[in-house]
Amino acid sequence: MELYVERGFDETTVAEIAKRAGLTERTFFRHFTDKREVLFAGAAKLQDLFVEAVGEAVPDLPPVDAAIAGVVAAGALIQERRDFARQRYQIIAANAELQERELIKLAALSAALAGALRRRGVPDHAASLAAEVAIAVFRVAFERWVTDPVRLDLPQLMRESLDELRTVTADRGTG
Amino acid sequence: MELYVERGFDETTVAEIAKRAGLTERTFFRHFTDKREVLFAGAAKLQDLFVEAVGEAVPDLPPVDAAIAGVVAAGALIQERRDFARQRYQIIAANAELQERELIKLAALSAALAGALRRRGVPDHAASLAAEVAIAVFRVAFERWVTDPVRLDLPQLMRESLDELRTVTADRGTG
């Protein structure tokens, strides 16, 4: 990770990463399929956490609030690894190919979230919309948290972003 | 386009596309930088339309309604080219690389929309949230329209999706 920040993602070889981590290349490839996986290996865990939290939310919670329960659970986990999250963000922001991969992961996350909502009995389109709203909250709150020099509380920012989204979405908005 | 549907995107060569369209390869490359551009050349026009409609929306319209004005304007244009839109959707759905490109175009559209909202005086995060909400409405309504065998009205579906999004987002939802 430090190497990606120092040299740029494209300029860093697996041999260098393995050396810095005190691993052989063979051991590296036992843990990661390629060097991008160092950045994206956590995505599956994050998705499981999302889906689980949505499934466990109080039964009569409105769809978006159920989806946000997943977002907030993910936020708490990400917050524990602030240095990793900040480095990862910098690396991805500097590389178009990684940004594409990040978009794909977020689209997959949105689809998984919509699936979890459907299993709660939320109708098809409502589930897709609520999931997209939750991912929008996730992205905007995360971006704010990761770029702010002050150590803000990510789950709290997520809840605030949802409130803000409700304000901009309201039929008689304040804008 | 027909060739992509018949044979699959990867299996179709520029030579074949040009022949079917009655063009030389050289003429093809004067119009499109590569064969993907046949599918994505309209994106810039669509983005301009979005941004223009948002700029022209009534000044005191709430942020999401201003953003949706752009979405509805785009919907009216897309609707005029239903056969193209349906073929294009099928081709993209069948090809992972094209799906990635579509995600990138939508992310760019969201950023452009947020920029147009900021120029209306909407604060930074509120603009990003409203733009993401509008893109969510666009995606869900478009997907519904393009996959429905019945000829539905796309701008109308977009307005309905916004209402549905308001319902799922409301503090006391119906879900």
Q: Domain limits of chain B?
A: 1-35, 42-169
Average pLDDT, chain A: 86
Helices (H), ranges, chain A: 2-7, 14-21, 25-31, 37-40, 43-56, 63-80, 82-93, 96-119, 124-147, 154-169
Q: Which residues of B touch A168 (CB under 8 A)?
A: 62-64, 122, 126, 129-130, 133
* Residues B135 and A140: beta-carbon distance below 8 Å: no
Closest residue in B to A131 (Cα) is B136
Tell me the C-alpha to C-alpha distance, in Å, between residue B147 and each of B89, B90, B107: 9, 9, 22
* Residues B136 and A121: beta-carbon distance below 8 Å: no
Q: Which residues of B touch A61 (CB under 8 A)?
A: 175
Tell me the C-alpha to C-alpha distance, in Å, between residue A132 and each of A94, A115, B126: 25, 12, 16
What's A34's DSSP letter?
Answer: S
Q: What is the distance between the terminal CA atoms of chain A, rounded to a whole angstrom?
A: 41
Please state, for a pLDDT cut of 70, what percent of chain A lies above it. 93
Mean pLDDT of B4-21: 74
Task: Extract the tokens encoding B116.
Answer: 């147009």
Tell me: pLDDT of A31 over 70. no
**Model confidence pLDDT, tens digit, residues B23-54:** 777 776 666 667 777 777 778 888 999 899 99
Residue from B54, B159, B168, B174 to probe the interface with A (highest A Cβ count within 10 Å): B168
* A1-35 CATH pick, 3.40.50.1980, 3.40.640.10, 3.40.250.10, 1.10.10.60: 1.10.10.60
Tell me: pLDDT of A117 over 60. yes
User: Min CA distance, B20 vs chain A (Å)?
Assistant: 32
Q: Which residues of B touch A130 (CB under 8 A)?
A: 168-169, 175
Q: Measure the CA–CA gap between A133 and A122, rounded to whole angstroms.
A: 14
Cα-trace Rg, chain B: 18
Q: Measure the CA–CA gap between B66 and B56, rounded to whole angstroms.
A: 9
Tell me: pLDDT of B174 over 60. no
Band (pLDDT 50/70/90 cuts) for residue A19 is confident
- Quick one: which H or E segment has residue B7? helix B2-7
Cα-Cα-Cα-Cα torsion A148, B170, B133, A58, nearest 10 degrees, comes to: 70
**Residue type, position A169, single letter:** T
Residue from B129, B138, B157 to probe the interface with A (highest A Cβ count within 10 Å): B129
Q: pLDDT at position A113, please?
A: 94
Packing angle of the helix pair B154-169, A63-80 (nearest 10 deg): 70
Band (pLDDT 50/70/90 cuts) for residue A133 is very high
- Homologous superfamily (CATH) of A42-169 is Tetracycline Repressor, domain 2 (1.10.357.10)
Q: pLDDT at position B173, please?
A: 41
Residues 119-138, chain B: which have Cβ within 8 Å of A? 120-122, 125-126, 128-130, 132-133, 135-137
Tell me the C-alpha to C-alpha distance, in Å, between residue A124 and each of A127, A137, A140, B71, B86: 5, 20, 25, 21, 21
Residues 12-31, chain A: which have Cβ within 8 Å of B? none
Q: Which residues of B touch A66 (CB under 8 A)?
A: 175
In this prediction, the answer to ipTM > 0.85 reads no
Band (pLDDT 50/70/90 cuts) for residue B5 is confident
Q: Measure the CA–CA gap between B164 and A125, rounded to whole angstroms.
A: 8
pTM to 2 decimal places = 0.82
